[in-house]
Amino acid sequence: MARPGIIPTIWGGLSVSPDAGGRVWRGLRSNRLLLVAVILAMVIAGLALIVPLLPLQDPLATDYDHTLQAPGKGHVLGTDLHGRDVLSRVLWASRPSLLVGVIATSLALLAGIAAGGLASMGGRFTDAFLMRVADAFLSFPAILGAIAIMAVLGPGLRNVFFAIAVFGWPVFARLFRSSVLATREMDYVKAARVLGASGTTVFIRHILPNSITPVLAYTALAAAAAILAEAGLSFINLGVQRPEPSWGLMLAESRGLFEQAPWMAVAPGVAVTVTTIIFIMIGSAVSRPMAPVVAGEGRSS
Amino acid sequence: MNDTVLRVNDLHVAYVKEDSVVEAVKGVDFSVSAGSVLAIIGGSGAGKSSVALAVAGLHDQRKARVTGKVILEHDDIIQMSEDQLDDIRGARVGMIFQDSRGALDPTMKVVNQVAEAIRRHHHLSREEARTEALKRLHSAGVAKDLLRHAPYAHQLSSGLCQRVMISIALAGDPILLVADEPTGSLDLTRQAQIMRLLRERVAASGLGMILITHDLGLATSIADDLLVMRGGSQVEYGPCEEVIKSPGHEYTNELFGLWRQTCFGKGKGHAHT
C-alpha cells in the first residue's frame, strides 16, 4: 500500500464521517501551533461567555472616589477616569470584539463564497462583472470605507458588522473563485462529470469541499482583521458607544493619561493584541498543512 | 455474442483554434460487439484519444467539430444534446482514465465515491448503496479491511486506485466501457492484473469495451479486434489474430516489427519509447 503522496486538505478531507472527531484531534495533536492557538482562543471565548457569572464589579459602575487608581487590591488592573474597574471592562469588552470577529467575518465569508462561486461557475460575463465589483471594493482602503459607511449609517455594533463585511467579502470571493477554477480542472471533477454526475452534484460533492479549505484558512485571518477594525472604529467613536466597554473605546479613553495611568492603555492594548495574534496563529497553522507535501520530503512553507 | 453495441462511421474530429483547424481524426469506421474488446493502437498524436472522447460524447462543442456517426445501440451520440449526453454518461457509457488516482476525489472516501456512482444510476438508499459499493469493490480486488485503514485515494496504490475507478465506471452497468490508457501508470504485474479484471468484467457483463493504448503487447493480449491509427487516419482494422498474422499496411508491419524487436530482442536494437 502506498503511503500518502499528497496531503490534500487540513485533515484529509472535510467530509463528515464517524471518525471525523478523531481525525480532528489527531490533526490538532500533530500541529502544535494550531493546538496552542485553539486552546487560547477557547479560553478567550470561554471567558467572554461566562463573564456575567464571574465575581467582577459592574463594568459600568462609576466610583469618583477611586478614579485612576493603580492596580492593586480591590482593582486588579486599576480603575479608569470614572473609577470603573478596568479588569471588568476588559473582560466585558471581549464580547463585542469576538462578536464582530465571528459575525462580520461570517457575513463576509458567506457573501464571498456566493459571489466567488457565481463568478467561477456562472459564465464569462457574470465572472467579469462580479470580479470588477470586487476589484472596486479592493482598490478602496477598507478602514476608510468602513468609516464612510459608519458615517452614513451611524455608530453602533450592528452597523460595524455590516461595514466590515462590506469590505471583507471581495477577498473571500477572489480566493474562492480562484480555488474553484483550479479545482474545476482537476481530473476527479472531470471524471465525475464523465461518469454521469450532474453539474450541481459535482459542485456540491466535489468542487466545494476541495475549494473551501483555503477560504476557511483565511477566515481566521479575516476575523483578526475584523477585531482590529472594530477596535479602530470604536477608538474613533463610531463603533461601540459609551459607556459600554470596548477595547478600542478604552484605548481612546486612555489618551492623554498614559503617564498618569498607563494601565488604562496597557490592559485593553494587550487584550486586543493577544486576541488578534491568536487568530493569526490559527490562520497560519491551518494554512500550513495545505501546502502540498511530497512523501519523505519536508513540507513547503 | 454478436450484438453490436457501438457502430462508428466516417468519424472526423477537428479542433478549431483561433487561426487554424487541426484535423485529429480523418474518417474512422469500426464497431464494437457486446462481450468483445476493440483495441485502438497507434503512436502519440494518432488520434486515439480523440476517438475515445467522441465515442463518450465528451468533446467541447465550442472547441471541436465532430462529424460522422457514432451509433450507441440505436442513438447517434453526435446528434445528442448536452442533457441527453448527461443521461448516457455513466449509465450507458463508462470511462476509465490513465491517472486513476487523479480521477478520484482526494477528500472523499473511495467507498463513498463508488456508492455515490451507484446511487446515481440505481434507486438505492445510502446504506444499500454503500453495501453494494463494498461488494463491488471486493469483487474488483479491493478488500473491505484495507479500506478501513486506507479509506482515501492518496492512501492507495495506483493499482488499487484503478480497481476503484473500474468499480465506479461500471457502477451504472454501462453497455460500453472506454478505457483510455488504463494501465499507463502501472507496473507490468499490475497491468496484467487490471487487464484480467477488465476482461472478466467484459465477459461477465457482456459489455463492449474500447481500449486505447500505445502498448501493442497489452492490446493483443486482451483485444478481439484491433484498429491501428496513424496521423488521425485508420490504417488497419480487423480481428486481432488476422491483423497480427498478416498486417495489410506498411505502418502496421513496422509497428509489429518494432514490438517483436522490443519483446524478443531480435534485430539490431530496442525500440523503447
Query: Looking at per-residue confidence, does A195 or B228 come out higher?
Result: B228
Whether the per-residue pLDDT at B9 is higher than 90: the answer is: yes
| Tally of domains in chain A | 1
Q: Quote ipTM for the complex.
A: 0.75
Of A96-100, A265-269, B143-147, B211-215, minimum mean pLDDT range: B143-147
pLDDT per residue as tens digits for the range B108-119: 999 999 999 999
Report the amino acid identity of residue A241.
Q
**Residue B184 to chain A, least CA–CA distance (Å):** 16
Per-residue pLDDT, averaged over B87-101, amounts to: 88
Report the amino acid identity of residue B49.
S
Percent of chain B having pLDDT more than 70? Answer: 95
Q: What is the mean pLDDT of each run of 10 residues along chain A (301 residues)?
A: 38 42 65 86 95 93 91 91 95 95 96 95 91 94 89 90 94 95 88 84 90 88 94 92 94 92 95 95 76 39 31
Q: Name the pLDDT band for B18 (thresholds 50, 70, 90).
A: confident
Beta bridge partners of B15: B22, B64
Distance CA B120, CA A114 (A): 27
- Give a yes or no: residue A189 inside a domain: yes
Give the number of other CB atoms < 10 A from CB of residue A261. Answer: 20
Report the amino acid identity of residue A130.
L
Q: What residues of chain A lie within 8 A of the CB of B83, using their CB?
A: none
Q: Which domain holds residue A148?
A: 6-297
For residues A123-149, b (16+ Cβ closer than 10 Å) or e, as one string? eeeebeebbeebeebeeeebbeebbeb
Interchain CB distance below 8 Å, A187 and B102: yes
Interchain CB distance below 8 Å, A194 and B168: no
pLDDT reported for residue A22: 59
Whether the per-residue pLDDT at B202 is higher than 60: the answer is: yes
pLDDT reported for residue A23: 59
Q: Which of A1, A179, A195 to probe by mutation at the B interface, max B CB count within 10 Å?
A: A195
Decide: A105 and A226 in contact? Cβ < 8 Å: yes
- Give a yes or no: residue A250 inside a domain: yes
pLDDT reported for residue A1: 40
Per-residue pLDDT, averaged over B77-92, amounts to: 89
pLDDT reported for residue A289: 59
Q: Average pLDDT of chain B?
A: 87
Classify residue A19 by burial, with Cβ atoms within 10 Å: 0-12, 13-18, 19+.
exposed
pLDDT reported for residue A8: 40
CATH classification of the domain holding A176:
1.10.3720.10
Q: Name the pLDDT band for B272 (thresholds 50, 70, 90).
A: very low
Place of cell 466545494: A208
Give the number of other CB atoms < 10 A from CB of residue B191. Answer: 20
Whether the per-residue pLDDT at B31 is higher than 70: the answer is: yes
3-state secondary structure of B252: helix
DSSP string, A210-249: HHHHHHHHHHHHHHHHHHHHHHHHHHTTSSSPTTS--HHH
Domain ranges of chain B: 4-92+175-263, 101-173
Q: Which residues does A143 contact at the CB level (< 8 Å), separation at least 6?
A: A229, A232
Q: Which residue among A188, A194, A197 sits closest to B104, beta carbon to beta carbon?
A: A188
Q: Indicate the CATH number for domain B4-92+175-263.
A: 3.40.50.300
CB–CB contacts below 8 A, A to B: 95
- Give a yes or no: residue A1 inside a domain: no
Report the amino acid identity of residue A95.
R
**CA angle, corner B257, sides to B253 and B259, nearest 5?**
120
Q: What residues of chain A lie within 8 A of the CB of B56, using their CB?
A: 194
Q: What residues of chain A lie within 8 A of the CB of B116, using their CB?
A: 197, 205
3-state secondary structure of B20: coil
pLDDT reported for residue B191: 84
Residue A131 vs residues A127, A139, A175: alpha-carbon distances, Å: 6, 12, 11
The 3 state secondary structure assigned to B200-241 is HHHHHHCCEEEEEECCHHHHHHHCCEEEEEECCEEEEEEEHH
Q: How many angstroms from the chain centroid is the CA of residue A67?
A: 35
Per-residue pLDDT, averaged over B58-67, amounts to: 85
CA dihedral A78, A81, A86, A90 (to 10 degrees): -150
Q: Whose CA is closest to A225, among A41, A100, A91?
A: A100
**Residue A127 to chain B, least CA–CA distance (Å):** 19
pLDDT reported for residue A24: 61
Q: Which residue among B58, B107, B121 sits closest to A196, beta carbon to beta carbon?
A: B121
pLDDT reported for residue B248: 78
**Residue A1 to chain B, least CA–CA distance (Å):** 5
Q: What residues of chain B lie within 8 A of the CB of A13, using their CB?
A: 106-109, 152
Whole-prediction pTM: 0.74
Distance CA A11, CA A140 (A): 36
Per-residue pLDDT, averaged over B145-156, amounts to: 87
Interchain CB distance below 8 Å, A191 and B97: yes
